[in-house]
């Protein structure tokens, strides 16, 4: 059972518009894999499609993880398999506290079909201890546990709560969708540190970092960098590729791939 994330010739659309036009990508366990690309290249569509967002229709292709074509699974089943999507724009859910939401998420992960939930639920004392420790590590005030999820939170607070969720759920494959957008440098450092701590604790964890800018990659250092353009992966390289893109922009790759005047 491979814990590689393998994407094969993935095509996906919103309505009639095809956004992903044959994505091929493998994210190996224990690696940090960055996907960079200009706006509109399909990066966010890719992360949402992997996770199963209902607005995107997969027209062909496969996404394999741990021995299953996950496109056949419900969204929550994908999460339980170890996938985690850190949202670019986390939604707010009025009336549901951070603590209650997290407990439901943890218990969702622990649930086993056909088993009484009372047998699998996390004991309350252990949950409280866990959430307290994780909040302290991320510099999130404990008062946030009692607030409604993301309701009135700043951009930075929302992203910290995303990382808090990730550290509670301990995914084996995390997808960070433009996690750096809207973050100031201090928040960026805290968030990156949170990701790095998780990676250090789990040598088998894979991370797919989706970003427009190289900046985030100063803090979360990638092993592999792929470049996405017009719905396909068009280049793959090492960390140096990110620096080249930072210097030269995306145009030179566009010319190499699509030729002049295209």
Partner 1 sequence: MATKLPAIASLSAADVLVATEPAWLQTWRQQSLAAFAAHEMPYWRRTDLTAFAFADMQLSADLGTFKIGADAPPGVIVMPLSQAVHDNAALVQAHLGSAVSAKVSKYAALNAATWRDGWFVYVPKNLESTLPLHLIQGFGAGNTLIARNLVILERGAHLTLVEQLHGDGGPYSNVVSELILGDGATLKYTAMQTWGAAVHHVGHVVANVGNNATIEWAAINTGALHQHIEAETNLVGNGSRVDWMAATVAKDGQRLLTAPWLRHVGRSTEAHMDFKTVVKGTGYATFDGMIKIEGGSTDTITRLEEHALHLSPQARSDSIPGLKIDTNNVQKAGHASTSGEVDDEHLFYMQARGISKDEAVHMIVMGFFEPVLDRIPLESLREQVTAAIAARI
Binding site for partner 1 (CB under 8 A): 51-55, 74-76, 78-80, 84-85, 87, 90-91, 93-96, 100-101, 104-105, 108-109, 111, 148, 165, 169
- Nearest approach, Cβ of residue 95 and partner 1 (Å): 3
- Nearest approach, Cβ of residue 87 and partner 1 (Å): 7
- Nearest approach, Cβ of residue 196 and partner 1 (Å): 22
- Nearest approach, Cβ of residue 93 and partner 1 (Å): 6
CA 237, chain centre distance (Å): 20
Nearer to partner 1, 87 or 250 (CB): 87
Nearer to partner 1, 62 or 151 (CB): 151
CA atoms within 13 A on the CB side of 88: 13
Nearer to partner 1, 209 or 225 (CB): 209
CA 25, chain centre distance (Å): 15
- Nearest approach, Cβ of residue 240 and partner 1 (Å): 33
- Nearest approach, Cβ of residue 131 and partner 1 (Å): 14
CA 258, chain centre distance (Å): 29
Nearer to partner 1, 177 or 180 (CB): 177
Nearer to partner 1, 27 or 106 (CB): 106
Helix (H), strand (E), coil (C) string for the chain: CCCCEEEEEEEEEECCEEEEEEEEEEECCCCEEEEECCCCCCHHHHHHHHHCCCCCEEEEEEEEECCEEHHHCCHHHHHHCCEEEECCCCCCEEEEEHHHHHHHHHHHHHCCCCCCHHHHCCCHHHHHHHHHHHHHHCCCCHHHHHCEECCCCCHHHHHHHHHHHHHHHCCCEEEEECCCCCCCHHHHHHHHHHHHHHHHHCCCCEEEEEECCCHHHHCCCCCEEEEEECCEEEEEECHHHHHHHHHHCCHHHHHHHHCCCC
Nearer to partner 1, 78 or 232 (CB): 78
Nearer to partner 1, 114 or 261 (CB): 114
- Nearest approach, Cβ of residue 169 and partner 1 (Å): 7
Query: Using an 8 Å Cβ cutoff, are 13 and 221 in contact?
Result: no
């Amino acid at each position: 059972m491979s814990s590689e994330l393998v994407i094969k010739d993935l095509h996906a659309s919103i309505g009639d518009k095809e956004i992903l036009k044959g994505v091929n990508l493998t994210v190996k366990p224990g690696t940090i894999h960055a996907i960079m690309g200009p706006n509109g290249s399909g990066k966010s569509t890719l992360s949402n499609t992997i996770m199963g967002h209902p607005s995107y229709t997969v027209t062909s292709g496969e996404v394999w993880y741990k021995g299953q074509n996950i496109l056949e699974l419900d969204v929550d089943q994908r999460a339980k398999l170890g996938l985690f999507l850190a949202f670019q724009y986390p939604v707010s859910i009025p009336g549901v506290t951070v603590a209650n939401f997290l407990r439901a998420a943890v218990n969702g992960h622990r649930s086993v079909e056909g088993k009484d939930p009372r047998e699998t639920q996390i004991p309350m004392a252990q949950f409280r201890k866990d959430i307290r420790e994780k909040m302290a590590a991320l510099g999130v005030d404990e008062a946030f546990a009692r607030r409604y999820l993301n309701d009135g939170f700043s951009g930075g607070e929302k992203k910290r709560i995303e990382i808090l969720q990730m550290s509670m759920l301990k995914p084996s494959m995390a997808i960070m969708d433009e996690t750096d957008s809207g973050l100031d440098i201090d928040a960026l450092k805290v968030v990156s540190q949170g990701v790095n701590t998780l990676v250090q604790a789990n040598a088998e964890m894979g991370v797919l970092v989706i970003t427009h800018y190289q900046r985030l990659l100063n803090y979360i250092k990638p092993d592999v960098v792929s470049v996405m353009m017009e719905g396909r992966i068009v280049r793959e390289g090492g960390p140096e590729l990110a620096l080249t893109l930072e210097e030269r922009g995306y145009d030179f790759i566009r010319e190499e791939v699509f030729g002049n005047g295209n």
